[in-house]
Amino acid sequence: MSAGCGLVSDWGREISTNVGDTTRIRSDRVATLYLFHPLLRLMPAGGVKVPILMYHSISENNNRDTSPYYQTTTAPGVFAEQMRFLHENNYRVINLDEAIKKTERAEGTTDRHVVITFDDGFRDFYTQAFPVLSRYGFSATVFLPTAFIKESAANFKGGECLTWTQARELKGVGVLFGSHTVSHPQLTTVKSRQLEMEVQESKRVIEDKLGCPVESFAYPYAFPETDRTFKRRLRTLLEEAGYVNGVSTIIGTAGSGADRFFLPRLPVNSWDDLPLFRAKLEAGYDWLHLVQLGNKLIKARFA
């Protein structure tokens, strides 16, 4: 994933091969659908939690040599089915700022809200995703790695990216844009000056090209949630640059305890059938963060 999740690898592996042509049984799916999601339904409702969906490319380019968990593409037909599910189940699509405000409420609500985000700025958002979103009156936030967004189509990770002309057109019909750095590096490995540049310059370029404020930042690759020093440094840089919120690759639905600059998200791809998609929306997949965090703590301990 552009946003690799740092997950213990066994949870991302198949425990069988194909079931038909469209579904692979995964241990994370089985645990979610047959244990954690049912248990969650038996528990009393807590505060407001908002699912923030993390998409990348909407295309047929699935890498069948990669475990379904790590796929970053969603087939157009699957994406259309997922958006239809949101529409038919009365989900209202909101932006990140609205989501944060809703999670700050003291009491729960029966209203259904969701945030839709796309990392990497691929052209297929324009050609495949937006026509489906607009059919239902949905919008989204697209995070751009600005080194790959140009006046003519440029390639990033094997896919064509949006052009600035396309981005301006999308902005005109309500799509929001955020920063995904300049060059999409592993931010924990770059020097301080480059870190500042990646945060500040990407925001400046988008604002200059699109003529609108950029308030949101998406962290590329696995988020280093156990590195408190780095998190403090990055949070300070984001605030100083004028960002007001951001998203990470931490797995889960966003609640009142989440840091507004590093909100958790739910990765979605072609292998998410509707039962798993629904469970993710309803916080039934949040348990996986404990596995993710444990893996990071182990790596940090023995690094």
Q: What is the 3-state secondary structure (H, E, C) of 111-142?
A: CEEEEEEEECCECHHHHHHHHHHHHCCCCCEE
CA distance 225 to 246: 14
Q: Residue 173 carries which side chain, given as an amino acid letter?
A: V
Which own/partner contact pairs does 61-68 have at CB distance under 8 Å and 24+ positions apart? 61/158, 61/159, 62/269, 62/270, 67/9, 67/12, 67/13, 67/14, 67/26, 68/12, 68/14, 68/24, 68/26, 68/269, 68/270, 68/271
Tens digit of each residue's pLDDT (9 = 90 or more) over 108-124: 567 899 999 999 999 99
CA distance 241 to 225: 21
pLDDT at 10: 38
For the chain, what is the largest distance between any 2 Cα atoms, rounded to a whole number of angstroms?
A: 53
Q: Is the pLDDT of residue 4 over 80?
A: no
Q: Is the pLDDT of residue 13 over 50?
A: no
Distances, alpha carbon 192 to alpha carbons 47, 122, 147, 199, 237, in Å:
38, 28, 19, 11, 10
| pTM of the full structure | 0.90
Tens digit of each residue's pLDDT (9 = 90 or more) over 200-233: 999 999 999 999 999 999 999 999 999 999 999 9
The total number of residues shown for the chain amounts to 303
% of the chain at pLDDT higher than 70:
89
Mean pLDDT (whole number) for 78-95: 98
Nearest 10 degrees: Cα torsion 143, 179, 225, 293: 0
- DSSP at 234: H
Mean pLDDT (whole number) for 32-52: 89
Q: Is the pLDDT of residue 19 over 80?
A: no
pLDDT at 247: 98
CA distance 164 to 197: 20
Query: What are the backbone angles phi and psi of residue 191, rounded to the nearest 5°?
Result: -75, 165
Tens digit of each residue's pLDDT (9 = 90 or more) over 289-299: 998 888 878 87
Looking at the domain that runs over 9-302, which CATH code has it been given?
A: 3.20.20.370
